[in-house]
Amino acid sequence: MPVRFRILGSGSNGNAALLTTDDSRVLVDAGFSARRLGELLAAAGESLERIDAIFLTHEHGDHAAALGGLARHPHIRVFANSATAQAVQRSLKHRANWQVFETGATFRFRDLEISAFSVPHDAQDPVGFLIAHGHEGDLFAPRRTLAWLTDLGHAPSHVRERVRDADVLVLEANYCPRLLEADTKRPWSVKQRINGRHGHLSNDAARELLQSVASPRWRHVFFAHLSRDCNSPAAVEAACGPALAALRCGFSVVAPGEGSAAFEF
């Protein structure tokens, strides 16, 4: 069976994605209330009762909010590094089913192999993920890899190398620099945080990353975590579309507050 993937919701108000295989149903981040997450899963034909694990990138609420309401689902294993687990646990009234990994290490969960790598963001120990299924050279279960790369102010060389061999890439395109500069809702200090080296990735920075790596293996790129006020799908497509067209790589821009269609690979 191929890997099935869909983004349930993405943006400044919440982020979560669903990845399913023969043996696993996992979430990448869970940044909605447990009730809302249940509704999003139901719309995708799933439920919290059927989720096996959550892979957390970092402790910010738009990535970890659901954990506060998961006391009734103790079967869900929550994979996070030690700093993230400690930061989230301080706000919980119950003990989450923590499965602690080391940043930079690779671990297994059922039929998945997960590599967690450090990313520059203003959190305790934020990570991106490289999630692999199958085996190299196996005709019946070929190796397929998804790279999850959101919430980073810039892309160091080790991050670029991690996403080079992915089949599917989820990439942050948080803001358009011109729209951020013109925004009247955010004070200067917040704008400095967003466009700083430990903030978020702009459309221009996302394009530069795509052009610098330009992997022929990429089959599809999802642009995610768009700002509702300081970005738009049209701005992302204009900035990044030509770079992917040159690679003949498909892409989807996930509108703020929305999810994506299911994708199999």
pLDDT tens for 69-91 read 999 999 999 999 999 999 999 99
Which amino acid is located at 241 in the chain? G
Closest CA to 29 of 2, 53, 3, 4: 53
How does residue 138 score in pLDDT terms, banded at 50, 70 and 90? confident
For residue range 88-111, what is the model confidence (pLDDT) as tens digits?
999 999 999 999 999 999 999 999
Residue 119 has pLDDT above 90, yes or no: yes
Q: Where are the alpha helices (DSSP H) in the chain?
A: 34-43, 61-64, 82-89, 157-164, 177-182, 188-194, 203-213, 233-247
Length of the chain: 265
Task: Write down the mean pLDDT value for the chain.
Answer: 97
CA distance 10 to 89: 23
Q: What is the pLDDT of residue 139?
A: 84
pTM value is 0.97
Which amino acid is located at 130 in the chain? L
Residue 137 has pLDDT above 90, yes or no: no
Mean pLDDT of 250-256: 98
Which amino acid is located at 243 in the chain? A
Strands 106-109 and 112-118: antiparallel
User: What dihedral angle (degrees, nearest 10) is formed by the CA atoms of 105, 109, 111, 117?
Assistant: -30
Q: What is the pLDDT of residue 201?
A: 98
Mean pLDDT of 215-241: 98
Mean pLDDT of 107-122: 98
**Ramachandran area for residue 96 (φ above 0: left; ψ -120 to 50: alpha; else beta):** beta
Residues 219-242 as b/e (b if ≥16 CB within 10 A, e otherwise) read ebbbbbbbbebbbbbebbbebbee
For residue range 164-205, what is the model confidence (pLDDT) as tens digits?
999 999 999 999 999 999 999 999 999 999 999 999 999 999
Mean pLDDT of 2-29: 97
Q: What is the pLDDT of residue 1?
A: 72
Q: What is the pLDDT of residue 191?
A: 97
How does residue 220 score in pLDDT terms, banded at 50, 70 and 90? very high
